[in-house]
Structure 1
Amino acid sequence: MTYKVFIDGRHGTTGLKIDERLAQREEIEVLTIPEDKRKDTAVKAEYINSADVVFLCLPDAASKESVALLAPGNTRTRFLDASTAHRTNPDWVYGLPELNAGQRDRIRNAQKVAVPGCHASGFILLVHPLVAGGIVSADHPFSTYSVTGYTGGGKEMIASYEAPAELPDSMKSPRFYALGLQHKHLPEMKTISGLTNAPLFTPIVGNFAQGLVVSVPLVSRTLAKRTDPQSLHDYFADYYKDEVFVRVQPFGDPSALDNGFLPATACNDTNRAELFVFGHADQILLASRFDNLGKGASGAAIQCMNIMLGLEETRGLAA
């Protein structure tokens, strides 16, 4: 069977990656809107309503406008939205299959799925199990930071790193950003993790194209259930034991690191997320590592598409 797919926003970073991945799929026919018709609303509506799956790789407002073009009564066309527009909308299913035991079925049966944000994916993979298991209270004052490649910032940030013949010294070092503490991923980080308050979150962009590490520090005495790093590692290993794309790395094994360092790029060009637990009796550091363009964007979207179409979940994706 052949499935028709329309990528709305095909020329953006995520859209290009989805298009690249789907080009290798014999069972997928990518519908390509003529260049001179891209802004013709009537033509776009035709493409949306003729597709089995529509990927929305657009700014939030444009994403909502495209969803509104779905014809009344059309229950066949299914949406996967890579913007932040619908991630906390109860009418949309959050596209993280590994979230809990029922999430995969929710995605399978959904017409509208919101693809998670990259930073949010890493935070939620670490925090949601803790809240669900009562290890951490829902009102815990979480803080988190991430180190990401510049492709996570979209076309403008990519150009700022790749266009100059020589980068200014200020861009050669890692740089904190979103220092107003209102990053667009915060609502889903709070809601999907089951928290009553958003975490304090500061991302850091580095002078490398792709790769991401999200870290979450914990102080043992503040947890709802007192635990230690080994026990927490075992809990994560059991929680994700049946998952192909989420791998809990061995605890205390030097081979899981690079001479004691945790580089952000080790999962690049895969759909794999690796989880780490570090620390001692009093302090624990959790970390998740993945490709911000893979499990953090296009890979996650295609994983959800596979589930929605009843295909092998891993099809076209490297673990």
Structure 2
Amino acid sequence: MTDTPMIINALGQLDNPNAPASVDAAAQLNPSSEQLTIDKKTLADAHASGLTAVNITLGYTMGDLPPYEHTLHEIAVWDALVRDHSADLTKVLTAADIRRARAEGRIGVIYGFQNAVAVGDDTGRIATFADLGVRVVQLTYNQANHIGDGSMAPENRGLSDFGHRVVDALNERHVMVDLSHSGERTCLDAAAYSRQPVSVNHTGCRALADLPRNKTDEELRLVASRGGFVGIYFMPFLSLSGHARAEDVVDHIAHAVNVCGEDHVGIGTDGTVTSIDDLDAYRAHLAEHVALRREAGVGAAGERADTLPFVIDLRGVNQFRELIRLLEARGYGSRRIEKILGTNFLDYAERVWTPVTGSSRS
């Protein structure tokens, strides 16, 4: 493939993980967006990678901070970051904004949550978040909340009564319902109930690696059948060994395409473009961070002190070009690769973010 396709990362990070502030933040359970390092290297690497747009995580995910207030603060932080780097970044509110970002040589920043706890008991807050530019809301993290069960919740209870109201409110405001990290029953319930297509923005396939963070074929098939989107991550959960390689990413993409069809699969790396330079130093602190997550009850099966939270041979500014090369070697043509790298997410965004007349629940 000669021309770089549109690359949309359905879940990723903008950060220089080698900067001192980011190194300190990585050791924490719930670092603030203010601790991210969006410097010249971060932006240069993102541009060099060919990245068009990325769904970043902001707001409350876990920890002791007040969820609603912290989330409002994080949105303001990101508004300032985008404003301060307006030559390189642009806030995404519509699918057209992603196209414009590509045309202007900027990187589209999509505001997303990885936990909906900040909604509290007031679904009206979803309108507030939508008005502030939030376009993706993941219902749960690994643990259970009042909306549904996460992938590590043993009860697998499904979407709560309040969770149904949350999905209604997200549908009403045309915000993506992201079922990454959710428990199986919560995922199936939400995908079946939502009147708009839903997504699993960063996951793997449980048929290839039977770990809770990966989705079953039943989940994948239902999400796709309703017009949704599935993003495959570059994470250790792609292999039972915990040491996932680039070929594992391709295997999971291929399986998802076989289950969902080629129009519903993309990428959600769950990582940065800028690589960690000193892996030895990083590994030295990794065990402490994994233990901290386990003690807080937010770790996932498959997280260990020796499992890097990225794919060792699919990182850095060439990660997307390397993925293209591997997909080509697997026999994928340019049109299918373009879909997986970006246009499937763009089409899904068009389906969800564009208001449709007469879409209220009957």
Q: What TM-score results when the alignment is normalised by the length of structure 1? A: 0.33
- Tell me which structure has the larger Cα radius of gyration: 1
Q: What TM-score results when the alignment is normalised by the length of structure 2? A: 0.30
